[in-house]
Structure 1
Amino acid sequence: MASMSSVARCHHPTSVLAPLRRSSSASIPARAVPVPVVAKATASCRSFGGWRWPPSIRGGGRAVAESGARAASSVTDDNAGGIGIADFYTGKNILITGGTGFVAKVLVEKILRTNPTIGKIYIMVKAKDAQTALERLQKEVLDTELFKSLEEIHGKDYESFVASKLIPVVGNVRDPGVGIAIELAKEITEEVDIIVNMAANTTFDERYDVAIDTNTLGPLRLMCFAHRFKRLKLFLHLSTAYVMNNGPRRGVVLEEPLYLGEHQNAVLLDIEAEMKLAFDDSTRQLKRPAASFHKEMRDLGTQRANLHGWPDTYVFTKAMGEMVINATRGQIPVVTMRPSIIESTLKDPFPGWIQGNRVMDPSILYYGKGQMSYFLADPDCVLDVVPVDVVVNAMVAAMAKHGGATATVPGSCLYHVTSSTTNPMAASDLGRYMYQHFSRWPLVDKAGRPILVQPPSALGSMEELVRYVQRDMEEGGNAEDMPPSLQRERRRLHAMAMEKQLLHLSRVYEPYTFCGGRFDSANTEALFAEMSAQEREMFQFDVRSIDWMDYITNVHIPGLRKHVLKGRGDQHAVSGAAS
């Protein structure tokens, strides 16, 4: 049977959000004009279950958001002293959630390498005890190739340096009080200057209860914890640009905040009701087989997201997470970073490093293996891609700007770390780059023969894709060199599983390969303009400088082959920056 743990950890979520019934009334239209009220933090944030919403939120008011840097700063040769990144991080202590994730690893490595005078970095890790957390930090973070450059810099002092900076913290944003032990929580609340929230469930079609628990309630629990901090200067939340992919958006999507109850469709978004629906249904799971229950909860998430105008459970629950942060931050300064599709490093600490299959990568690898030469996509659709080190550099700069002594507080600002308006890459461009790479450096099959690829085709509908996939499977099943019956049956089952996976991925990614919106990044451009020449060199995040053909063919795909395929299918070393 399915586990009840996700429900138990929630600590009566709907009771916490009872005031939302009053703030999410039918009188608040979608895209209502913000009311200029800054919510005052309450003193009742002793526990997650005891959280009281600020009066302005209970009445439907909205917190003011700074426009950020909408008016771009003037750029001089070196822009004077810049933001002051190096000075800002000296002695600062940071709490990072989602500490073993892809972006978090790159952020930790970057800060340690470029700002060795940083104080302590508390890294929250899901673990049963402190020893297990330490082991996870060592194995999943420090022992990765990503940290080799840092190790070379410090030599024999590397271990002592890292030990003096990184503090593993047993915790989980799905637990009451984010699961941190009392004594350590007290230390953190007294010492930490910046919270960086990167804990997220990024599965697009995750179970609705699990996604809400992590992506919506998780930020709420963490913000509740943040109100106990004595010296907190900034709460940085890593979101996604696609929270704005709600409804039939076309043209430029501005860097605007999401407010409580905001929606595109006629159906009112009541976050309390969504949580009640998710968790009430979870309590009935013991009456159903686990597999059936999991599918029902995945389908429920997609249905609720679509009902309110979002394409999938992931971006819907992330959008609600932004809403509850804006509603409960009170006087805490908040920066929200919204990157688009995050892929491998462009150059820092070295080109092509990646962890796992990201959004584009299953399709790229299926194509390279000769298993798929067509894709469900509008060839003119802009695939908004950004390398992970570009995202991290923007985060480092934003923290220094908004957490510094001259920052305007209280306030909030958000940044789209995106490429679609300033340096767009179309789906047809990606197809051409894939063909160029695998034509020159093909993968090989089990017999050592090069796998020849054809120029990829873009298909305009799911029905057309289904026909192509089924045709290829039938042709593969009629091959003259098929092995004896048992092996033939195994191959047939494998082909069926592959067909199911291809169609599933295509359905999941369809909203992104037919997306009509392009993300404005004026705030991010203005932030870059404020930096000194030295800061821009060390923390480069100007996406205009990216050559997409070079990045895809010589950096990203070689990185996939090295770090994801682990060299499988390579007859010889692949030329390129990541080899």
Structure 2
Amino acid sequence: MGSNLFLNSVSSLSLSPHKFLTVFENCDKCFFRKKSSSTSSSTSVVYCQGGGNKKRSIVVEKDQKSAALMDAGNLVLSPQNGKSQIDQINVVKDMVPFGGATTTTSLVDDVQHGIGIVNFLRGKSFFITGATGFLSKVLIEKILRTVPDVGKIYLLIRAKNKEAAMERLKTEIINAELFNCLRQTYGKSYQAFMLSKLVPVVGNVCESNLGLEGEFADMVVKDVDVIVNSAANTTFDERYDIAIDINTRGPCHLMSFANKCKKLKLFVQVSTAYVNGQRQGRIWEKPFSMGDTIASENFVSETSSAFIPTLDVEKEIELALKSKQATADSHEVTQKQKELGLERAKKYGWQDTYVFTKAMGEMVIDSMRGDVPVVIIRPSVIESTCKEPFPGWMEGNRMMDPIVLYYGKGQLTGFLADPNGILDVVPADMVVNATLAAIARHGMLQKPDINVYHIASSVVNPLIFQDLARLISEHYNSSPYFDSKGRPINVPSMKLFGSMEDFSEQLWRDAIQRSGLSPMASNSNGKLSQKLEVICRKSVEQAKYLAKIYEPYTFYSGRFDNSNTERLMEMMCEEEKMEFGFDVRSIDWKDYITNVHIPGLKRHVMKGRGMMINSTST
């Protein structure tokens, strides 16, 4: 038997907005079917989630005599491609989420009224971890600017005491340039407004009960409506024990705390799209269950189960702790822990310690969530803001930024990357807008499901590496850095190398050229002089290390499907799309890279260093 599901706003199809569809519980491919109610000719849509990650959809023509089989991605993500088969299919909304209930009955909100983002956020209290981090600041700013009548926003801050936490709040958040729009809006009352909304809470996600003191713990438990976990260690090759502590045990402590909260409506985990590890091709928005591994997905069915690695998260935590205790020397501990993290990640099908421990964090959340509604936000590479609160704001070096800066300064002429590969980039403000839309949507529904959203561009608006390299080159040719003597640094066109060997050879050539020394100096057999080698080796090894760490990403063959995210966007009314837009299709990469991101990098990260003083052109 199936259960009824309302389908709303199937644009341009002859299905009426509230036709009943049936979700068949016993079908392992779980498909939708329009109930027969008339003998008249009409168009039907049958959606099928096949085995594994493969999705198919059948679209039946109005004459009911022929059927066209197409990928669900073409149906949902690229509606313009379906015009030859049917009369403009725009979207099919509200498919059953991965990991959610097998059957669902829901009436999608009328698109004219939208999700109701502002209405939901009004008066709600938030508890945010990783509060002083880049993305959390953008989230806090957006909430306060668009919904000033939001409730309290409790910020978990690592500090010795309340006074130290308050000092961090003022220094790192209230005084940050990011909040200039709010500062201008409230004028002299700006700080009073901020302190009336933001409550610093001393604590640590690595500790049980988050290290909260009794009074603060009770206050948050009674008051909080939404928990947003944005705390993370994002170092790709971090020590295994440190990464596990924050990225895996942290969500465990938070979910345990969440289950105590009296009126909690939603738990939001800010993850990364790269928790999908070494998956290839189109990657669906699917949650992890405890013990899932990417390696097991890659084994053929004939492989004996004895050879498939079995992941036990609890044992991984124990392993990291034991390995730390087994070695006394601090340098040796660090090195062994780094090696252990990479070894364990690759064994189970992830490229590095960061994404492996984040994936295990998702598994822990799924296993502990009970009746708590959960949203997993998986952004790809988060870079500077596209529009809000102003274009180009960022903090610290993000993933591609060291390469951009080294190249602009003439310290790199290229990098290790697949020229035809894709760097999946999303602006921070789009990530925040999508997060708030998901919070409102699922905070109102309050269903004990787990919903995953990829905030990513690789499927719908890919940024190709060779195009990125060209845009970076064009920017620095027109707006170069200046050396200490005020001379413009001329850079050649950025090269991309397909192998570490080719990249390494280029690094040595560049290092020798920059040194101004002859490679034959004081050496008759053509080997580098000792002086030259000392000068060059350090810069070469640093660049090779960076390339090695980034290689899994600069040659990444996965593409992040964002069907759930696009359906979420289509539930929004026009006013919400203007205020909380996150359409990655709309990004003009040339404009974003050359006029927004790199200028933002120069201003907010480099603080103007290397820019010509008293010059109208930078």
So what's the TM-score if we normalise by structure 1? 0.83
The letter for the 1-side match of 2:436 is V
Amino acid at match of 1:280: K
Aligned residues: 503
Which of 251, 257, 263 is the aligned partner of 2:281?
A: 251
Contact 1:383 1:426 in 2 (8 A): yes
Segments of 5+ residues of structure 2 without an aligned counterpart are: 1-50, 55-97, 296-307, 519-528
- Residues 297-324 of structure 1: CA deviation (Å, up to 9, x unaligned): 1111011101111000000000000001
Is 1:519 the counterpart of 2:554? The answer is: no
Matching residue of 1:209: 241
1:535-559 residue CA offsets vs partner (Å, 9 max, x unmatched): 1101110011110000000000000
Which among 116, 121, 138 is matched to residue 106 of structure 1?
A: 138
Q: Which residue of 1 aligns with 2:294?
A: 264
Structure 1 80/376 Cα, relative in aligned 2: closer, same or farther at 3 Å?
A: same
Any conservation in 2 of the 1:68–1:523 contact (CA below 8 Å)?
no
Matching residue within 283, 295, 318 for 2:325? 283
Give the counterpart of 1:304 among 335, 338, 344: 344
Query: What one-letter code is carried by the residue in structure 1 that aligns with 2:537?
Result: M
Matched, 1:125 2:157: yes
1:167 equivalent to 2:199? Answer yes
Alpha-carbon distance in structure 2 between the residues aligned to 1:32 and 1:516:
16
> Any conservation in 2 of the 1:65–1:257 contact (CA below 8 Å)?
no
Mapped to 2, the partners of 1:543 and 1:313 lie a distance apart of 28
In 2, Cα distance between the equivalents of 1:290 and 1:537? 52
- Structure 2 distance, partners of 1:555, 1:573, is 21
Aligned to 1:510: 551
Q: 1:395 aligns with which of 435, 454, 466?
A: 435
Aligned to 2:100: 65
Aligned equivalents of 2:183 and 2:533: distance in 1?
A: 48
Change in 2 beyond 3 A, CA 1:492/1:347 = farther
Q: Equivalent residue of 1:96, what SS?
A: strand
> Could you tell me which of 373, 376, 391 is aligned with 2:416?
376
SS of match in other structure, 1:285: coil
Matched, 1:362 2:402: yes
Q: CA deviation at 1:489?
A: 9.8
User: Could you tell me the percent identity over the aligned residues?
Assistant: 48
CA distance in 2, matches of 1:391, 1:136: 24
In structure 2, what is the Cα distance between the partners aligned to 1:386 and 1:67? 32
Among 439, 445, 451, which residue is 1:413 paired with? 451
SS in 1 for 2:481: coil
Query: For 2:217 and 2:535, how far apart are their aligned partners in 1?
Result: 49
Aligned partners of 2:369 and 2:252: how far apart in 1? 9
Q: What are the Cα deviations for residues 265-295 of structure 1, in whole angstroms up to 9, with x where unaligned?
A: 2211111221111100111232xx2112211
What is the CA distance between 1:573 and its match in structure 2?
Answer: 7.5
Alignment partner, residue 323 of structure 1:
363
Instruction: From 182, 185, 189, give the equivalent of 1:150.
Output: 182
Q: 1:494 to 1:555 in 2, by over 3 A?
A: farther
Matched, 1:430 2:468: yes
Structure number with higher relative contact order (C-alpha < 8 Å, ≥ 6 residues apart): 1
* RMSD of equivalent CA atoms: 2.5
Partners in 1 of 2:107 and 2:236 — Cα distance? 35
Which segment drifts farther, 564-573 or 387-396?
564-573
Write 1 or 2 for the structure with the bigger share of strand.
2
1: CA distance between counterparts of 2:341 and 2:366? 23
Letter matched to residue 470 of structure 2: R
**Aligned counterpart, 2:10:** none
Contact 1:381-1:515 at 8 Å conserved across structures: yes
Letter in 2 for 1:409: K
Give the aligned partner of residue 316 of structure 2.
274
Q: Which moved more, 1:277-286 or 1:235-244?
A: 277-286
Match of 1:343 in 2: 383
> Are the counterparts in 2 of residues 94 and 194 from structure 1 also a CA contact under 8 Å?
yes
Return the alpha-carbon distance in structure 2 between the equivalents of residues 434 and 86 of structure 1.
38
Query: Contact between 2:266 and 2:446, CA under 8 Å: does it hold in 1?
Result: no
SS in 1 for 2:287: coil
Give the counterpart letter for 2:129 in structure 1: T
Any unmatched runs of 5+ in structure 1?
A: 1-29, 34-62, 481-487
- Verify: 1:558 aligned to 2:599, yes or no: yes
Name the counterpart of 1:51. none
CA distance in 2, matches of 1:210, 1:154: 41
Aligned-residue offset at 1:491: 8.9
